[in-house]
Amino acid sequence: MKSNRVLLQATSIIVALVITLYFSYAKVVCAETQGKIVRVIKKIEIKGNQRISTTAIRSSIRAREGDPYDPQLVSQDVDAIWSLGFFDNIGVELEEMTDGLRVVFLVTERAVIDEIQFQGNKKIKAKKLKKQIEIKEGDYVKPYLLKLDEDKIKELYIKKCFQRIQVHAESKVVDGKTVVVFNVEEGPKIRIAEITFTGNNNFKRRKLLKQMESRQKHFPAFIFPGRFEQKKFESDIIKVKEFYMNNGWLDVDVGWEITYNED
C-alpha cells in the first residue's frame, strides 16, 4: 500500500467583515382567572386588529358566547390565531361581568412592508438583488423570511466570487412607513493567484492541476479570471484524492489551506 500526503494552497485577496443580526418575536399566552364556579362566556371581543378583519379572527377560534369558560380551549384559540401568521403578539384578558365573563383577545399585527431597500451593494444592483429575494412590498414582516433572503443574497454574491459577503436585514419605520433594509458588506472579490502542492513526490504539479476545475488567474483575465468558488474547490480536493487512489495510493490524505494577501 502506498501512502502520500498532498497539501493544496490557494492564494487570494480578502477582507473579512462579519455582521450578524437576528430578529425575534414573542408569543404571549393567555392568562386566565381560575375559580371553582363554572363561569359562562357572555361576550368575546377582538382588539388591536387593523388590517385583519374581526370576522377572520373569530372564524379561527372555537370559544363561543354562551359556552362555559374553558381555559384550555381559550389557550388553543390563541394558538389558532397565531397560526394565521398575521400577528407578532397575542394575549387574552378576562373581565368579570355581572352574569359571566368577557373574553378579550388582544392582538398586535405584524407590520406590512411598504418599501425594500439595499445598502452597501456596489457590485450588484438593487434591481437584481430584489429579484433574488422572496419578500415583496405588501407582505407581512416575518423574521424567518428575512433570514432566508439574507442567505439568498449571500448565495448570489458567492457565485460572483465574494466569498466573505455579509448581509443582515432589519425592519424599521421611516416617516410612518415600514421599510425593510438589507445591509450588505461585500468585501473584495476573491481570486486564485496561485495553487501550490506540498508533498506531491510522485506526480508533477501540472498533472494534479489537470484533475481540478479551479484555475489560477492569468492573462487574459476575462478568460481566466481565477474565480474562487469554495464548493468547486472542495470538489477538486476529492478529485485529487481519487486520482491518487486510482493510481495505487489507497491511504492518501489531501488537505488544503488558503492564504490571503492584498497584492
Confidence of residue 167 (pLDDT cuts 50, 70, 90): very high
- How many Å apart are CA 145 and CA 149, to the nearest integer? 6
**Can you read off the three cell numbers belonging to residue 22?**
437576528
Closest Cα to residue 178, out of 50, 46, 27, 47?
A: 50
- Mean residue pLDDT of the chain comes to 81
pLDDT higher than threshold 50 for residue 90: yes
How does pLDDT run across 189-214, given as a tens digit for each residue? 777 777 888 888 888 888 888 888 77
pLDDT higher than threshold 90 for residue 179: yes
pLDDT higher than threshold 80 for residue 217: no
> Around Cβ 10, how many Cβ atoms within 10 Å?
23
Across the range 230-250, mean pLDDT stands at 86
- How many Å apart are CA 159 and CA 190, to the nearest integer? 11
Domains of the chain from N-terminus onward:
3-15+189-260 (3.10.20.310), 41-109 (3.10.20.310), 115-185 (3.10.20.310)
Confidence of residue 221 (pLDDT cuts 50, 70, 90): low
pLDDT higher than threshold 90 for residue 71: yes
Radius of gyration of the chain (CA): 29
Per-residue model confidence (pLDDT) at position 11: 39
Per-residue model confidence (pLDDT) at position 1: 52
Across the range 52-58, mean pLDDT stands at 95
pTM, two decimal places: 0.59
pLDDT higher than threshold 70 for residue 52: yes
